[in-house]
Structure 1
Amino acid sequence: MTTPLLSLTWTDHVTGRQGFLVVDRLVRGVSSGGLRMRPGCTLDEVAGLARGMSMKEALHYDPEARYVPLGGAKGGIDCDPRDPEAYGLLVRYLQAMRPYIESFWTTGEDLGLSQDVVDRAAVEAGLVSSVQAVYPLLDDEAGARRRLADAFAVEVDGIGLDELVGGCGVAESVLTALDRAGVPYWRTRVAVQGLGTMGGATARFLTRAGLTVVAVADIKGTIANPAGLDIEALLAARDAYGTVDRAVLRPGDREAPGEDWLAAEAEVLVPAAVSYAIDATNQERITARWIAEAANMPVRPEAEDLLAARGVTVLPDVVVNSATNAWWWWTLFGDIGADDVEAFAHIRRSMRALTDRTLARAEADGTTPRAAAHAIAADRLPVIAERFGLHR
């Protein structure tokens, strides 16, 4: 495990709460990685996420594309985003991190923070943009910024394109795994933890592909229906934090404790909420065949070992949830336009190819998909460094 280029802890002078920044590596002097806000966030957690971002960037490297692969980084703030002090804390964090964001850290929404909140706080902190460090790498900065702004203005069925691209990528990873196993979509049941941006979009795309979502979990508990949930109704009844208004539940829907999504009779589990959701103890409840990591680091390593030993395949976060980050850069660098049809088509092609390559490598090497993804990234990082230079 390599030592990151930069690792720092910041303490807010107003609340005493802490924030963190880890830059794992730079490519052409720039790194990429979102900013999360959650109670209990730690420096070690942020460091793990930053390493994952380096791999996500490497996995999407295409020498023929305009998209320049970046290094990996991550930010984190130890605070409940619902706390009345959270927004002011976010602004002060961004003010403290301003030299890094201006110079070499591009960031955006992650767990607990939406992009519009990050953008608003960035302006208050005196920043031009949360991704301004990448601007010097663009051939046409004005055109690229306009293209990205136009993409963020696109809505599909009432939901912003930026809120859908990640879930589209997760869904394609799941569908690729099913295709390789010869499992028909209509016979596949899904349980989702978290109905926020990533979980909600994943549930929508999987449902529209013909799968049946039988359970979803939010902060209030689990909603289940073995015949299938009305995902569109649940999505329409969410608040800003992904919590569903129970008034929309149908007679066949039942409420259960929060962790019951783990034990749902389903072929696919999608943890799309918090890190470390599946540990060595609660993994025993899982009967699913696949776990698709829509969240970052939801399965602890010791749990993954136990799951693998009994035939449960974990589709790793560095592959599964990488489409959001890639979509930003595909759009900004001009590989795709500000169009939902073009975006979804590009995501589907790229995520299917990446997932298929990862699963094929795992089979060939006799390893887990995570080990295979790490091996693919390890093969590509030196190639990227040789082409673009590596500043560490």
Structure 2
Amino acid sequence: MTAPSLSLTWTDHVTGRQGHLVVDRLVRGVASGGLRMREGCSLAEVAGLARGMTMKEALHYNPDGPAGKYIPLGGAKGGIDCDPRDPAAYGVLVRYLRAMRPYVEAVWTTGEDLGLTQDVVDRAAAEAGLVSTVQAVYRLLDDEDAARRRLAAAFAVEVDGIGLDELVGGCGVAESVLVALDRAGVPQEGARVCVQGFGTMGGATARFLSRAGLRVVAVADVKGTVFNPRGLDVEALLAARDAYGTVDRGALRPDDQELAGDAWLSTDAEVLVPAAVSYAIDVANQASITARWIVEAANMPVLPEAEELLAHRGVTVLPDVVVNSGTNAWWWWTLFGDVEADADAAFAHTRRSMRDLVGRMLTRAETDGTTPRAAAHAIVDDRLPLITERFGWYG
């Protein structure tokens, strides 16, 4: 792939905090990618995430499949180096969006990511003078008013107390797990899962897997790891978490155990789902992992050197660019009109799309004798030239 189209760093004049924006690639003049906030967020991290967004968009473009109204965009990402719990964080977010307003209005469509929720992003965007964080894509729509009403209606949908916008990503991660189990001939019922991170993506993934019959035996948050070999009460934990995914320990059952923060790594489970921060699994701690599959719900949770060692030990990593791409795709399926503002329709479309995409990736990996990540990259390499040929470099 080529160098990013745009890469910049902003410094907040009030706090000295820095924020970054990387537009990796434009397609039809627009790039898509969320905005994260975390202490230590760097330009290199944001650039890697932006490249991942280019890949996610390309992976959901099937030039030979049934025609949908949504045509993929380019990839971008924003990041702010600040702890979202810092009392000054919201002001930094507003000023960042005010500084990035020309890009959001013209080329960058964004939304929630690590450390931020969509309602907070929307509120800050309004204070920054933006019509919407996805307004750059409006010119590509056939009927902007209808599309905006459809997306607003979708964001208003809740299923058992959790918003549809939170759930679709977890639905995609869960479907990725189920495809891997099915292809390996491992029964879903009772298969053990550990989820690291219990925020938007981790919580939704745990719900879908639990309801599919899998046993969620461990959940890790900033306070440590909650463990029960017979399975945790996922719904009770979801009801007891705060806005940052931290579970109130008062909701635990008598036989639930509280373990150390890094205990999730060595949990006895078939599936490990890192759904929190990037770079969580490194060369040192990968040796503790006994799971057969690592399914990347977070962005870039497994370092490349660690993944190589895991592969030698027979541990399969299902990569983030495929596994957690459902949220981004759902936004555009809904906005462009491929999916209505309905939970059942959204989940059905997400499951079909993810099952097809994960299946193609695993088949390509088997055929080429490579890892799933290498197979995903190969699929992207096949598709990007077609996207460029059909839509140009910049639109």
Structure 1 partner of 2:46:
46
SS in 1 for 2:189: helix
Counterpart of 1:250, as a letter, is R
Counterparts of 1:12 and 1:338 in 2: how far apart (Å)?
38
Q: What pairs with 1:324-335 in structure 2 (closer than 5 Å)?
A: 324-335=327-338
Q: Deviations over 1:196-249 (max 9, x none)?
A: 000000000000000000000000000000010000000000000000000011
Quick check: 1:84 aligned with 2:66? no
Counterparts of 1:298 and 1:314 in 2: how far apart (Å)?
10
Structure 2 partner of 1:103:
106
Structure 1 partner of 2:320:
317
The Cα of 1:385 is off from its aligned counterpart by: 1.3
Counterparts of 2:379 and 2:89 in 1: how far apart (Å)?
38
TM-score relative to the length of structure 2: 0.98
Structure 2 partner of 1:118:
121
Structure 1 partner of 2:132:
129
Counterparts of 1:174 and 1:225 in 2: how far apart (Å)?
20
Structure 2 partner of 1:147:
150
Counterparts of 1:2 and 1:229 in 2: how far apart (Å)?
46
Q: Deviations over 1:281-309 (max 9, x none)?
A: 00000000000000000000000000000
Counterparts of 1:2 and 1:317 in 2: how far apart (Å)?
21
Counterparts of 1:111 and 1:128 in 2: how far apart (Å)?
23
Counterparts of 1:2 and 1:187 in 2: how far apart (Å)?
45
Structure 1 partner of 2:31:
31
Q: What pairs with 1:200-219 in structure 2 (closer than 5 Å)?
A: 200-219=203-222
Runs of 4+ in 1 over 6 A off after TM superposition: none
Counterpart of 1:59, as a letter, is L
The Cα of 1:62 is off from its aligned counterpart by: 3.3
Counterpart of 2:153, as a letter, is D
Counterpart of 2:111, as a letter, is G
The Cα of 1:127 is off from its aligned counterpart by: 0.3
Structure 1 partner of 2:356:
353
Counterpart of 1:323, as a letter, is G
SS in 1 for 2:243: coil
Of all paired residues, the percent bearing the same amino acid is 80
The Cα of 1:315 is off from its aligned counterpart by: 0.3
Q: Deviations over 1:354-380 (max 9, x none)?
A: 000000000000100000001101111
Counterparts of 2:394 and 2:347 in 1: how far apart (Å)?
33
Quick check: 1:294 aligned with 2:300? no
Structure 2 partner of 1:282:
285
TM-score relative to the length of structure 1: 0.99
Counterparts of 1:292 and 1:265 in 2: how far apart (Å)?
15
SS in 1 for 2:262: helix
Counterpart of 1:275, as a letter, is S
- Residue in structure 1 matching 2:197, options 169, 194, 199: 194
Counterparts of 2:389 and 2:109 in 1: how far apart (Å)?
22
RMSD: 0.8
SS in 1 for 2:298: coil
SS in 2 for 1:390: coil
Counterparts of 2:380 and 2:269 in 1: how far apart (Å)?
31
Q: Deviations over 1:232-274 (max 9, x none)?
A: 0000000000000000111110101111001000000000000
Q: What pairs with 1:15-26 in structure 2 (closer than 5 Å)?
A: 15-26=15-26
SS in 1 for 2:219: strand
Give 5+ residue unaligned stretches, structure 2: none
The Cα of 1:187 is off from its aligned counterpart by: 3.5
SS in 2 for 1:384: helix
SS in 1 for 2:19: strand
The Cα of 1:2 is off from its aligned counterpart by: 2.4
Counterparts of 1:81 and 1:28 in 2: how far apart (Å)?
33
Counterparts of 1:241 and 1:234 in 2: how far apart (Å)?
13
SS in 2 for 1:127: coil
Structure 2 partner of 1:266:
269
Counterparts of 1:27 and 1:81 in 2: how far apart (Å)?
31
Structure 1 partner of 2:10:
10
- Residue in structure 2 matching 1:386, options 369, 386, 389: 389
SS in 2 for 1:385: helix
Counterparts of 1:85 and 1:243 in 2: how far apart (Å)?
21
SS in 2 for 1:303: helix
Give 5+ residue unaligned stretches, structure 1: none
Counterpart of 1:121, as a letter, is A
Counterparts of 2:68 and 2:165 in 1: how far apart (Å)?
21
SS in 1 for 2:218: strand
The Cα of 1:387 is off from its aligned counterpart by: 1.2
Structure 2 partner of 1:166:
169
SS in 1 for 2:86: coil
Counterparts of 1:80 and 1:5 in 2: how far apart (Å)?
28
The Cα of 1:391 is off from its aligned counterpart by: 1.6
- Residue in structure 2 matching 1:251, options 254, 260, 263: 254
Q: Deviations over 1:100-123 (max 9, x none)?
A: 000000000000000000000000
The Cα of 1:132 is off from its aligned counterpart by: 0.2
SS in 2 for 1:294: coil
